[in-house]
Amino acid sequence: MKTSLIFCVAVALTKTSADGQPTGKLDASKIDAAIGTKGTMIEAEGVYKVTFPRADVAITVDGRRMEPFMGFTSWAAFKAGVAAECMVMGDLVLFEDEVGAVMDACLESGLAVTALHNHFFFDEPKVFFMHIGGEGTVDQLAGGVKKALDATKVLRAKTEQPVRSFGLASVPTTNAITAQPIDEILGVKGQSKDGMYKAVIGRTVKMACGCEVTKEMGVNTWAAFGGDDRTSLVDGDFAILEEELQPVLKSLRQSRINVVAIHHHMIGESPRMLFLHYWGVGKAADLARGVKSALAALAGADKTKEKS
C-alpha cells in the first residue's frame, strides 16, 4: 500500500524585524497551500506542524520491521527570519535512488543541502537522511520542500521498491586509465597504480591543541579513477569549508556526478571542515572535467569569502 512520505513541518508563526523582534505572524495557510496538506498548531511553542508517515516502503533494521514513528520522519521547520521572510531547517528520509533527484529539487529551489548520511546499521532498504536549510520567502521555501517530496513520489511511482543501482554503464574491472589527460584537465600530477589513477590535493586546519593537520593526515580533496578511458568510474572526497559546500554540490550535480555523503571527519578543527563524498560513471575525461569544475567552484567560493 502506498502512503505519503513521513514529513513534519514546524513553523514558528512570527515574523522578526532587523533587530530580531517579532513584528507579525507567518501565514500558515501558505504553508498548507504549498505542501498540499493541513497542519496542526502547537501553541506551547508557536509551531505549526504537518506530518506524513513514510510508509510507502517497508523498512527493517536488523531484521525488525520499523514503524515510521521510530525515527523515519522527514521534517522541515520554518521560522520567521531577520534578513528574509523566514528560514527553514529540515531532514528528509530518503532511499538511495531518491537522493540525486531530491538534492536537485532542493538546490534548484534555493534550499541548501547541509548533510547527507545514515542513521542506522543493517537497514533494508538502505535509508539516508538529507538535512536542508535556507532563508527566503514562505512560498519559495515551502515550495522547495514540496518539490523534494514530489521527486520521491515520482520515483516510487516508477518502482515501488528502491532500486539497488545507479543504472549507469558497467565499468570494466580491468583498469586501464591514461593518466596524462587527467593530469592536464585537473592541473595536478596524480599517481597511477595497476591501471588506476588518483589525484590528491591537500588543505590545512589547526586543531584545538594547536597542532596543524594537513594533507597526509586526512585533510584533502581526492579523485580516484578506475575502469578504462571510455567507461570509467570516479570516486572521491572534497574537503570543503561551510561556505564552499553549496557551490561544489551544484557543480557536481550539473556534471551528473552523484553525491553520496556529506559529513564531518574531525571535531575542534579551525577552520571548520566538511567532507563531501561522490561517485560518477562515464568517460574518464568527462568525469575529470566534472571534478575540475567543482574545484573551480570551490576556488570561486574562496574568492567570494576574501572579498567579503
**183 and 245 housed in the same domain:** yes
Q: Does the global pTM surpass 0.75?
A: yes
In contact, 70 and 55? CB cutoff 8 Å? no
The Cα–Cα gap between 43 and 247 comes to: 38
Q: Describe the chain by its helix, strand, coil percentages, rounded to 5.
A: 30, 35, 35
Question: DSSP labels for 253-294?
Answer: HHTTPEEEEEE-S-SS-BS-EEEEEEEEEE-HHHHHHHHHHH
Question: DSSP labels for 219-240?
Answer: -EEEEEEEEBSSSEEEEEEEEE
The burial class, CB within 10 Å (0-12 / 13-18 / 19+), for 113 is buried
**Residue 5 in this model has a pLDDT that exceeds 70:** no
CATH number at residue 267: 3.30.70
In contact, 166 and 258? CB cutoff 8 Å? yes
Pairing of strands 7-12, 74-80: parallel
**211 and 150 housed in the same domain:** no
Is residue 1 in a domain?
no
The Cα–Cα gap between 165 and 157 comes to: 17
The Cα–Cα gap between 187 and 184 comes to: 5
Is residue 88 in a domain?
yes
Is residue 171 in a domain?
no
pLDDT in the model for residue 126 = 97
**13 and 153 housed in the same domain:** yes
Does residue 307 or residue 45 have the better pLDDT?
A: 45
**205 and 295 housed in the same domain:** yes
The pLDDT tens digits of the residues spanning 37-85 come to: 776 766 676 667 777 778 999 999 999 999 999 999 888 888 777 788 8
**37 and 127 housed in the same domain:** yes
Is residue 37 in a domain?
yes
- Ordered strands of the 123-124 beta sheet: 64-65, 60-61, 123-124
**126 and 212 housed in the same domain:** no
Which residue in this structure is represented by grid cell 520567502?
137
Question: DSSP labels for 86-105?
Answer: EEEEEEEEEEGGGHHHHHHH
Per-residue pLDDT band for 17 (boundaries 50, 70, 90) equals low
For residue 205, what are the domain limits? 179-307
The Cα–Cα gap between 167 and 280 comes to: 11
pLDDT in the model for residue 46 = 62
Is residue 102 in a domain?
yes
The burial class, CB within 10 Å (0-12 / 13-18 / 19+), for 21 is exposed
Per-residue pLDDT band for 18 (boundaries 50, 70, 90) equals low
**144 and 244 housed in the same domain:** no
Is residue 172 in a domain?
no
**33 and 141 housed in the same domain:** yes
**Residue 230 in this model has a pLDDT that exceeds 90:** yes
The pLDDT tens digits of the residues spanning 82-104 come to: 788 877 888 999 999 999 999 99
Is residue 2 in a domain?
no
The Cα–Cα gap between 18 and 83 comes to: 7
End-to-end CA distance of the chain: 52
The pLDDT tens digits of the residues spanning 105-128 come to: 999 999 999 999 999 999 999 999
Q: What separation in angstroms does the CA of 286 have from each of 164, 230, 256?
A: 25, 10, 10
Q: How many domains does the chain have?
A: 2
**Residue 232 in this model has a pLDDT that exceeds 50:** yes
The pLDDT tens digits of the residues spanning 194-208 come to: 999 999 999 999 999
